[in-house]
Structure 1
């Protein structure tokens, strides 16, 4: 099967799932519903997403990839700005698609995603933070893996609060958490 065809089919299935989750909710949508909406067979749907819970994981990776591209990896930007831009890219998409985002997060939590899987954001954050260490804007004694996990955990906590409360400013909550963490990572002066 051609790569473009594979990508197109995965995208059709994802778009069908996102629309159905927003309309019916994650729990009330089946893989058969998704396959039907996408115009594929159930077998094809399961070939691309072996479990319904894989769809929220795909959503998360899409958010991170899009945000990484938007934030760029330009070494000329200060590390703190790169981290903020990366997180803001994610928060903007989440706030722009609130119901899809809520359903994806609910589905991911229902599938025990936060317990079973390591954050897909960690490699991105580790690269950005390591560049900061190399540039001298992040303390050289910083445990990059722990710092990336802490930022990812702060994003996750803000996301779950936003899903639950729906009245908090998601962007402001993530910005505040990132500022707090990034201040702690600066070299001692």
Structure 2
């Protein structure tokens, strides 16, 4: 009897759709119940999968906020890649502005994801998701003479990432503030970008 062959592309698609189902289930539950009061069993049940399948896709609940961050950054990066002719500092500002828009569009989801990220000791366990995005942008700007040649772009990327993460934490903590996330983020980001311009 001939063995049944499986289509690798179909398997990848199935894997992705299951992961998406789990992610969407988790996002809905985090908003409804809060990150702390949602279990992986709850997420699996809402997604219509087994607990084992849920853990295959997300070994820990703390991996879900990681995906949330990565997806937002990917969408922002895709958008600014389309405007490669723009000056580097403006592209970086746009990158953060687009993430800000996504964060503020769903404030309670963003709050729960950030609380989950912190509860899972994300800042300690993982390198910032933004470093891999910012470093090539900064290097490109340096190659085009838009950033001082003496600047260490790795340090700048880390500083931008650290400042932005600090702003996000403050925004989550101070939910009643009248200050927008965009205005909170702009000050630090603009200060860093102005410091790395070529000296004349």
**Please, what TM-score do these two structures have when normalized by structure 1?**
0.97
Which residue of the other structure, out of 159, 169, 172, is the alignment partner of 2:180?
A: 169
Give 1:171 deviation, angstroms.
Answer: 0.9
RMSD: 1.0
Matched, 1:92 2:101: yes
Contact conserved, 1:20 with 1:34, CA < 8 A, in 2?
yes
Segments of structure 1 that go 5 or more residues without pairing to the other structure are none
**Cα deviations across residues 12-56 of structure 1 (Å, max 9, x unaligned)?**
100000000011000000000000111110000000000000001
Aligned to 2:196: 185
**How many pairs align?**
189
**Cα deviations across residues 73-103 of structure 1 (Å, max 9, x unaligned)?**
5431100111011111111000001001000
Matched, 1:76 2:85: yes
Contact conserved, 1:139 with 1:188, CA < 8 A, in 2?
yes
**Cα deviations across residues 105-141 of structure 1 (Å, max 9, x unaligned)?**
0000011101121101101100110110001010011
Q: Secondary structure at the match of 2:31?
A: helix
Aligned to 2:52: 43
Aligned to 2:3: none
Spell out structure 1 runs of 4+ moving beyond 4 A. none
Equivalent residue runs for 1:52-71 within 5 Å: 52-71=61-80
Aligned to 1:126: 135
**Please, what TM-score do these two structures have when normalized by structure 2?**
0.92
Q: Secondary structure at the match of 2:184?
A: helix
Matched, 1:107 2:116: yes
Larger radius of gyration: 2
Aligned to 2:6: none
Q: Secondary structure at the match of 2:101?
A: helix
